[in-house]
Structure formats: C-alpha cells, structure tokens
Amino acid sequence: MADATMKPGISAEATVLPIIFAVSFCHMLNDIMQSMIAAIYPMLKADYNLDFWQIGMLTLAFQCTASLLQPVIGILTDRKPFPYSLPMGMGATFMGLVLLATASNYGMLVFAASLVGIGSAIFHPESSRVARLASGGRYGLAQSVFQVGGNFGTAIGPLLAAFIIIPRGQGSVAWFCIAAILGIIVLSRVAAWYKAHMLANAGRKRMIQGHSLPRRTVAIALVVLVLLTFSKNIYMASIGSYYTFFVIERFGVTVQQSQLMLFVFLGASALGTVVGGPIGDRFGSKVVIWFSILGVLPFTLAMPFANLEVTILLSGIVGFIIASSFPAIIVMAQELVPGRVGMIAGIFFGFAFGMGGIAAAVLGVLADRHGISTVYTICAFLPALGLLTIFLPSKKALRMA
C-alpha cells in the first residue's frame, strides 16, 4: 500500500483506490476462511458421522452469530467509529480457525464456527464504511470492488479446501491462520488511514445527501430490498451448503470434482459482482436488481433437471446473474437512509448471513426427509420474488431533493 494513501490530508471527495483494494483483499481473505468451513462439510460429515441437520446447524452457528452482531456493530460505529475494530475482528477469525483445526467433538466445531462468525460480524460493517469513505462518490464501483473480493474468496475457499484440507485432514485447517495474520497486518494499515481520515475531516460539517421520498415509500422500499436479499441468499445458501452433496448424489462425482463444480458457480458470482456496481452507477440500482433477481429465474428452474454438463453451464450463468444485485441493493438502501452507512451495511450483510444460516438449517431438515433434489426444485422458484422490484423507487426519484 502506497504511503501516500496514509496521509491525513485526503478529502472525502477523493477516490482512494489503494484503500478500496486493500479492504477488498481482506474481504477475500475473510471469505476464503468462511467458505472453507462449508467446503469441508463432506469431510466433517464422514469423520464425525453427522446428519444433514447437524451440517445445517454448523452453518446456522456461524451465520447467525454474524447476523445478530453486524447490525449492532453498524449502529454503534455510526455513532462512534472505531477504526482498529477491523484487525480485532480478523483476530477473532484467527482464534476460530485454530480451534477448528484442533476440535475433537461436534460442540467444539460449533464454537469454532461461531468465532469465525464474530470476526465476520466485526469486519463487514466497518470495511463497507471504509470502502464508501474512499469511493469519492463512486459508491457502486466501491461496493463492487469491495464485494468482489469476498466473492473471489468464497470461490477460492473450496478449491483450497479440496487440495489442502481434504487430502491432509482437519489439522491442515491451521494453515489458513496465515491468511488471518496477513489480514490483521493489512487491516492495521487500513485502520491507520481510516483514523487519519477521521482526524483530517473532524472540523468539517457532515454533508449528508438527502432525497424527497416520503417515509412510507422509504419503508416499503426497504422491506422490498430485505425480501429480495431473502430470496437471493436462501438460494445462495442452498448452493454453498448442499451443492456438493447434490452433484455427488446425482452425478456420482468425487468430492474434489464437486468442489471444482462449486468453484464454477462461485467464480461466476465474483464476476457478476464486478459488473453489477458500475452498471448501477450508470443506469441506477433498480435496473440491476430487475436483471439480477428476476432475470435468473429461467436458469434456476432448469438447473435441477439438467445433465452434468448443462448443470455446470447453468450454475455459472446463475452465479453471474444473481450476484450482480447485492452491490446495487446495498447502495440503494444507503441512499434511502442517508447518514446510516454502518447500520445499513450491518443490517443487510447481517440479514444475508442470518437468512443463509436459517435457510441452511431448514434445508438440511428437508434434505434428510425428502432428498437433496427436492431442495433444489423448491429453491428454484425463489427468484420469482424479483417481481417485487416494481415497488422500488427509480434512480431519478433518489436524486438529491
């Protein structure tokens, strides 16, 4: 990171790309460690003789810990920002990985997953705020770059698990602690810039962009955005937690092959995130949300019935399209509630984690009773909720009053 980015004279209007790339890089590290947990589920299921509902509870422990804490942290840091919470959050993830590598029973696995969730809860609201501070007004671009780091991390995690952890066993999880240490170092530098930025702008009046929308319209729009996040993240949870089991059961592929197939979906999701933000900056968030949520429906409906080759192709298309919406959802929500960046980031990232966790647990019960194929047939209809996008305000309506 260039030393120039650490100087306190940077104004709020400048786009500070090194800082945006730094938080994106740490988002990648954070999500590598997150996705690694889900990627080793088949190994843990065999080693600990777990049922699908126990797999779902692991996801619930991780994601609900993150979900419950993120909005609280966002609200607190809106009132009093705490730059050095970023490396502290990565420290919690480090401790979770150490415990995961050494766990000897199911209870320790659940506690380890919860610690990783705490680290994620601290990381997301504050790093999203830093990306917005460094955006220079290019909010869609900043959110896309920030989030694409997480998407790439989510995509890379299963590959690393397939080639490092699965062949060498649970103890090799400790190698991922190196990523946590690297994240602590980088986030310490980001925190120094964040603190300098706060000091440099301490005497300035806070400029908050407003809009002329009535409160009822804002409330309806926020409910719609929450429901769209709901549909997107339940579908993503079905892929993240059970896609490997689905392709192993249906097509007879190996565990490593299933991880490569998961990588296709997650890698395409990362590319979709890159595209979504800049398009939202140019044409408005609503256009991106229409395309992303409702536009993916024909492909999700076809996927449960496709052969192996078509399933791989469809998974890439679905991942690309559905992931493009989240930067647009975050930006629109922050425009609807100006001045509450941390709270909105915490609520929506937290809601994403929470819904993913609850969905993973419920889908695990359904999978035990009715089979994995039934789960994917049900989830295929979730993007139909994208029709609710009609109730969102247009780009013109969100301009300054």
Can you tell me whether residue 103 is helix, strand or coil?
Answer: coil
Model pLDDT, residue 9: 41
Q: Which residues contact 160 (CB under 8 A, 6 or more apart)?
A: 32, 36, 39, 176
Tokens 């979770």, residue located: 96
pLDDT of residue 337: 83
Q: In whole angstroms, give the CA distance from residue 294 to residue 388.
A: 9
Q: Are 316 and 183 in contact (CB under 8 A)?
A: no
C-alpha closest to that of 235 among 380, 340, 51: 380
Block residue for tokens 């999203």: 128
How far is 94 from 92, CA to CA, in rounded Å?
5
**8 A C-beta contact, residue 347 and residue 70:** yes
pLDDT interval class at 8 (50, 70, 90): very low
What pLDDT, on a 0 to 100 scale, did the predictor assign at position 15? 67
Mean pLDDT over 306-323 rounds to: 92
Q: What's the predicted TM-score (pTM) here? A: 0.67
Identify the top-confidence range among 122-126, 200-204, 350-354: 122-126
Residue 361: is it exposed, middle or buried by C-beta count within 10 angstroms (0-12/13-18/19+)?
buried
Per-residue pLDDT tens digits for 346-387: 777 776 666 666 777 788 888 888 888 888 888 899 899 888
At 209, the pLDDT band (50, 70, 90 cuts) reads low
CA gap 208, 122 in Å, rounded: 24
Q: Where are the alpha helices (DSSP H) in 134-214?
A: 139-160, 166-168, 177-200
Give the phi and the psi of residue 145 in degrees, each rounded to 5.
-65, -45
Residue 5 has pLDDT above 60, yes or no: no
Note whether 324 and 291 are within 8 A (CB): yes
The model's pLDDT over 239-282, given as tens digits with 9 standing for 90+, comes to 877 888 889 988 999 877 887 898 888 888 888 888 877 777 77
pLDDT band at 2 (very low <50, low <70, confident <90, very high): very low
Q: What is the CA radius of gyration of the chain?
A: 20
Tens of pLDDT, residues 216-236: 888 898 889 988 888 888 888
DSSP 119: H
Mean pLDDT, the chain, rounded, equals 82
Percent of the chain with pLDDT over 90: 20
Q: Are 62 and 34 in contact (CB under 8 A)?
A: yes
Residue 5's H or E segment, with its range, is: none
Closest CA to 243 of 232, 257, 230: 257
342: buried, middle or exposed (CB in 10 Å: 19+, 13-18, 0-12)?
buried
Q: For position 344, what pLDDT does the model report?
A: 79
Q: How far is CA 71 from the centre of its chain?
A: 15
Give me 92's structure tokens: 């919690």
CB hemisphere CA count around 299 (13 angstroms): 21
Query: CATH number of 15-201+213-391: 3.40.605.10, 3.30.70.120, 1.20.1250.20, 3.20.20.20?
Result: 1.20.1250.20
Among the residue ranges 190-199, 232-241, 326-335, 337-346, the one predicted with the least confidence is: 337-346
- Is 101 in contact with 171 (CB distance < 8 Å)? yes
**pLDDT bracket for residue 14 (50, 70, 90):** low
Are 332 and 341 in contact, with CB atoms under 8 Å apart?
Answer: no
Q: How far is the C-alpha of 324 from the C-alpha of 24, rounded, in Å? A: 16
d(CA 349, CA 248): 30
Torsions phi, psi for 15 (to 5 deg): -90, 115
